[in-house]
Amino acid sequence: MGRSDIKTSITMTGTGKHAHLSQWKCPSNIALVKYWGKRDFQKPMNPSLSFVLQNAFTETSVELHKDGNRKVEYFFEGVDSPFGERIETYLNHISGQIHWINKYNFRIYSHNSFPHSAGIASSASSFGAMALCLTELDFIHSGKETHHPEFWQKASELARMGSGSACRSVYPGFSVWGKNQLFESSSDEFAMPLTEGVHPVFSGLRDAILMVDSGAKKVSSSVGHRLMDEHHYQRSRIAQAHENVNELYLALLTGDQEKFISIVENEALSLHAMMMTSNPSFLLLKPNSLELLNRIQHFREKAKIPVCFTIDAGPNIHLLYFQENEPDVKAFIERELLTFCENGKWIDDRINSLPPSPSEGGGEKIGIR
């Protein structure tokens, strides 16, 4: 599917049956300040801050048909997929907000640009793309203009209801999700983009995803979030996340790479500390993950090159660095890190560039199949 052939949703009437179609491409994102723990329905216990990736994305097309009984068909990479059940539950959840949902059959096609279990959040890009399609169909259904900031907010909110972190995927660059003191318009319901003032050094942010283990996750994120309900450190974790969002935002504004590094690593390790100290506890880092962490820190000290790591709820490591250091860091990866990766696998990614207008989103329209 081409990126550039912009089209709007269409209505086909040829066979006497109606079908509406919407297609979107949406990136995955990686959190720097981690969302861990929820309350109510898919609302975060603490604010989080992330950026979207460029090469890791999902393309989704949603077709609505008006024939027969309500059903959901979901094809992932061209194959009928059991993920359809999760989509069905999701559609039921959001039918309170989008009333026409129950009137249609859904045929959904989805495809990821990245492999499964690669340490990239596929639920974020999948629900992001899905929510963008549904939002477009909803706006068209109610005769509303899609070129409106409200469009992105709605898409973010619908994405959140599928998978919390997905709400941060519909915007370009960095975004924040969760009510916090720093941003008056921040919300637990949807994310907001950090459109202004981010120092140019961060527009060249790179993410090398070092694959330690592509096996299935030992703890799903929904189980993980629940561990925070009764966690001994719950209060201090929430306070820490607020503080880290504030400090990281300051680092982003001032271009303070040192501060950026110290907060990002503190967050990654705190997430895993929460898992290790919950009841039951989970130890997701592998010996090779630790080896990579040590080597990244050692390289930073020795070569005086600003690199750091972040980690999601798994053993794979995201090595973050800056554009100007690309040749040195890539040589370091080849020389010292690949031997600790599963079959030498890593994914070369970067931040998705900032758009010219704050009213535009990071998810983008894709061509018709």
Radius of gyration for the alpha carbons in the chain, expressed in angstroms and rounded: 20
The yes or no reply on residue 191 touching ligand PMV (CB under 6 A) is no
Measure the CA–CA gap between 368 and 211, rounded to whole angstroms: 33
Taking each helix axis from N to C terminus, what angle separates 257-276 and 234-254, rounded to the nearest 10 degrees?
160
User: Residues in contact with ligand PMV, total (CB under 6 A)?
Assistant: 14
Q: Is residue 52 near ligand PMV by the rule CB under 6 A?
A: no
Q: How far is the CB of 361 from ligand PMV (least distance, A)?
A: 18
- Report yes or no: 242 and 180 within 8 Å, Cβ to Cβ: yes
Specify burial of residue 171 (Cβ count, 10 A radius: 0-12, 13-18, 19+): buried
Binders of ligand PMV in range 9-48 (CB under 6 A): 31, 34-36, 48
Element (H, E) at 108: strand 105-112
> Whats the size of the chain, residue-wise?
369
Minimum CB–partner distance for residue 211 and ligand PMV (Å) = 16
Indicate the residue among 68 and 82 with the shorter CB distance to ligand PMV: 82
Q: How far apart are CA 181 and CA 245, in angstroms?
A: 10
Answer yes or no: are the C-beta atoms of 189 and 179 closer than 8 Å.
no
Kindly indicate which of the ranges 108-116, 159-167, 194-202, 227-235 contains the residues binding ligand PMV, using the contact rule CB under 6 A.
159-167
Q: Which of 313, 329, 337, 351 binds ligand PMV (CB under 6 A)?
A: 313
Residues facing 193 on adjacent strands: 175
Q: Which of residues 121-140 bind ligand PMV (CB under 6 A)?
A: 121, 123
> Nearest 5°: phi and psi at 120?
-115, 135
Establish if 312 lies at the interface with ligand PMV (CB under 6 A): yes
Measured over the CA atoms of residue 84, residue 57, residue 168 and residue 30, the dihedral's sign is positive
Q: Which stretch binds ligand PMV (CB under 6 A): 63-71, 161-169, 302-310, 339-347?
A: 161-169
Residues 218-257, mask of contacts with ligand PMV (x by CB under 6 A): ---x------------------------------------
Residues 271-300 that bind ligand PMV (CB under 6 A): 271
What is the closest distance, in whole angstroms, from the C-beta atom of residue 184 to ligand PMV in the complex? 22
Contact footprint for ligand PMV (CB under 6 A): 31, 34-36, 48, 121, 123, 163-165, 221, 271, 312-313
